[in-house]
Chains A and B, each alone.
Chain A
Amino acid sequence: MAKGDRGARLRDRRTAGPPPAEPGAPLGDDLVQLLTPEGERIDRVTGPDGVEYSVDFSDSEYRGLYRDLVVVRRLDAESTALQRQGELGIWASLLGQEAAQVGSGRALRPQDMAFPTYREHGVLYCRGIDPIMPLGLFRGVDQGAWDPVEHKFNMYTIVIGAQTLHATGYAMGIAMDGKVGNSDDPADGEAVIAYFGDGATSQGDVNEAFIWSSVYHAPIVFFCQNNQYAISEPIERQTRIPLYRRAAGFGFPGVRVDGNDVLATYAVTRHALDNARHGQGPTMIEAHTYRMGAHTTTDDPTRYRGISEVEAWQAKDPIARVRAFLAKQQIADAGFFTEVDEQATAEAMSLRERVLAMPDPEPVTLFDHVFVDETPQIRQQRARFVEYQASFEGSGH
């Protein structure tokens, strides 16, 4: 190792000790996939959990998933551009994870509740929330202004893994409300999906959520987007076994799905959610995917990963394979692809216009909603603040 070869030293340290038990090992039979990177459709596949997975979509449903994927990616690209132009403080791009988010997001039934991290812009879109909402947070004009109860999509959570416990508690509430396991009707019964990443699996809260949901048999799906990196740290720093296998130790099934395959992700998530609502308890899904971009716009991934690795994942792009499939099967023609691109561009332009027009909040609103029942201290501080601000009026400040 040459002096100053920092990368080699890091690799050495990473591989010191007994070899890892294959967390990032080549994926074989344990990966549920229904659409290959080349766009070949696999009719049905048996997962590591012994379940046979398939989807039965109409042509228009296939086209709808493609449309979601393209729009979500385009909105994300616009958001990254807005950050680069100084309109957002920071942006956490979902580039590369569109299929994991659209597949799982569309698998939710209307009555299901989602608990996101801060990168689930695609799931948010699928929940019917105006995609400008997360931009308010990253622009700094609010902290996420959607109604979590109305849209069944909770606030973004930035503290890693904390939301998995909230999701578990909510799922316990569903069971207490008697809204689980009453019939086989998918419209009956509610379930929860908790999103988190590979890094979060090292958090105590996530492990506590696994334990709680297991012992209370809560109707919850733990959806882990293993995008291979926790900022700079590769998956080998979080685990020595494939993440989905951890579920067995907690007493519920785990399944690994190709997270770049929207069809498989949909099938696996829907199955797990329906199991949960029907009283079968939790499931952990590891969606095997890749964060194509930086952790956030403040990050520089060239410091910790090579271009060949990124290129290898580029070949597994979640959108290209759906497009290839649609074209090959003549489910969509060139006109459709053009129209989707135009829609995506139009939504992106609308997003841009509306972000630029987002007003800053009135400073005095920083005192609002500290409590339901406001305290005299807050009232007094607000009053002093208003008085102080007023003291500048007409003084040239």
Chain B
Amino acid sequence: MAAKTMTMVKALNAGLRRALEADAKVVIMGEDVGKLGGVFRVTDGLQKDFGENRVLDTPLAESGIVGTAIGLAIRGYRPVCEIQFDGFVYPAYDQIVSQVAKMHYRSQGKLRLPIVIRIPFGGGIGAVEHHSESPEAYFAHTAGLKVVACADPAEAYVMVQQAIACDDPVIFFEPKRRYQEKGEVDLDASLDGARPLFASRVLRQGTDATVLAYGPMVRTALEAAAAAAEDGRSLEIIDLRTLSPLDLGPAYESVKRTGRCVVVHEAPGTIGLGAELAARITEECFYSLEAPVLRVTGYDTPYPTARVEEEFLPDLDRVLDGVDRTFGW
């Protein structure tokens, strides 16, 4: 086993490289993804090794990136689009929601759009506005799209390859504040033996309360669980991984045991993913719940300036506060 310690950026790069090697129809397209290797260097060196026909530096227009990816997909390609930052995806929103999401359905299955749209998302990097948003609910709300978020390097490596192999369009969220965090990655990991892309995972077992998180908040939740353990409270942490379709079997099983559930995400709470999670868990676990499902999220404000973003973002203490509230109910 060739396990290596590497950052999420390097792991994504290795995953993309393997996908390019595995299928000649895979093409990467986006702004600055070629020579520069992407503003986060996720595609570093790929154009050099695979050529300008496989890794395309595109004109600067997001709708154009996704719109032309649709045409390439109809032609038989498997485009992997990079949207440079979360806040820049909106010019492509129409193509994603009106075209990417619906074309297979409208054509009664005759057309397939195996497109991956990679979006670095979330805050915590001290950026200027439009660089720290969490737009996942817009896409999870859209029928016809599959939406996932990776949380650590090993997951990023496998999940990006699975997303590219998927015959349905996948919105692939990457937690940019975790890009430089390191982890063990098995570069020889076979996709066949891997956990399916559209499955959640229990990351830490616990008995007192269940915490659901995804993307950048997975690590925050794990840190909260470690802190809670010192206080004698046992938290079960579930990484959702797939935001659409949701895979809540493990969450239901967990909440039925713990009787308490806290959902954590960076995106504002109102009509966010947490609302859907709370509704479903209430439906499935109603008689096991000791308290309502609580949400620990960003506030219902536009993303704030960098100097106060730490107050906006859920952190270890706010997760623990949420857990405390479920016990105080």
Q: A interface vs B, CB < 8 Å?
A: 115, 142-145, 147-149, 154-155, 157, 159, 162, 164-174, 176-177, 204-205, 208-209, 211-212, 215, 368-373, 375-377
Contacts and interface: CB of A to CB of B under 8 A. Distances in A.
B67 A155 contact: no
A147 B111 CA distance: 8
A145 B95 contact: no
Contacts of A208: 59, 61, 63-64, 67
Interface in B213-260: 245-247
A113 to B, nearest CB: 8
In the complex, the 9 A-B pairs of residues with the closest C-beta atoms, listed nearest first: A169-B71, A165-B67, A173-B75, A169-B68, A170-B71, A208-B64, A375-B245, A372-B167, A143-B106
B144 A370 contact: yes
Nearest to B166: A373
A159 B94 contact: yes
B68 A369 contact: no
Nearest to B71: A169
B103 interface: yes
Contacts of B299: none
Interface residues of B, number: 45
A145 B245 CA distance: 27
Contacts of A377: 245-246
B144 A171 contact: no
Nearest to A146: B110
Interface string B100-116: 00011111111110000
B134 to A, nearest CB: 22
Interface of B: 27, 53, 58-59, 61, 63-64, 66-77, 79, 91, 94-95, 98-99, 103-112, 143-144, 146, 166-168, 198, 245-247
B71 A171 contact: yes
B107 A376 contact: no
A174 B71 CA distance: 10
Contact of A369 (B27, B109, B198, B246): B109
Contacts of B104: 369-372
Contacts of A212: 58-59, 64, 68
A212 B70 CA distance: 14
Contacts of A170: 71-72, 74-75
Contacts, number: 135
A145 to B, nearest CB: 6
A375 to B, nearest CB: 4
A42 B136 CA distance: 60
A6 B229 CA distance: 74
Given A169-B72, A208-B67, A209-B68, 5 more contacts: A149-B74, A166-B71, A169-B70, A173-B72, A371-B144
B151 to A, nearest CB: 21
A159 B99 contact: yes
Given A149-B110, A173-B75, A375-B198, A165 B167 contact: no
Contacts of A368: 108-109
A211 B77 CA distance: 21
Contacts of A157: 99
B105 A209 contact: no
Contacts of B112: 372
A154 B58 contact: no
A168 B72 CA distance: 8
A170 B73 CA distance: 8
B59 A370 contact: no
Contacts of B79: 169
B168 A372 contact: yes
Nearest to A157: B99
Given A143-B106, A377-B246, A166 B67 contact: yes
B162 to A, nearest CB: 11
Contacts of A376: 245, 247
A154 B198 CA distance: 31
A115 B245 CA distance: 31
A370 B105 contact: yes
B170 to A, nearest CB: 11
Nearest to B99: A162
A155 B111 contact: yes
Most-contacted residue by chain B among A211, A370, A376, A377 (CB, 10 A): A370
Contacts of B107: 143-144, 148, 155, 369
B245 A148 contact: no
B30 to A, nearest CB: 13
B106 A144 contact: yes
A168 B68 contact: yes
Contacts of B144: 370-371
A227 to B, nearest CB: 23
A205 B63 contact: yes
B252 to A, nearest CB: 13
A166 B110 contact: no
A184 to B, nearest CB: 24
A373 B168 contact: yes
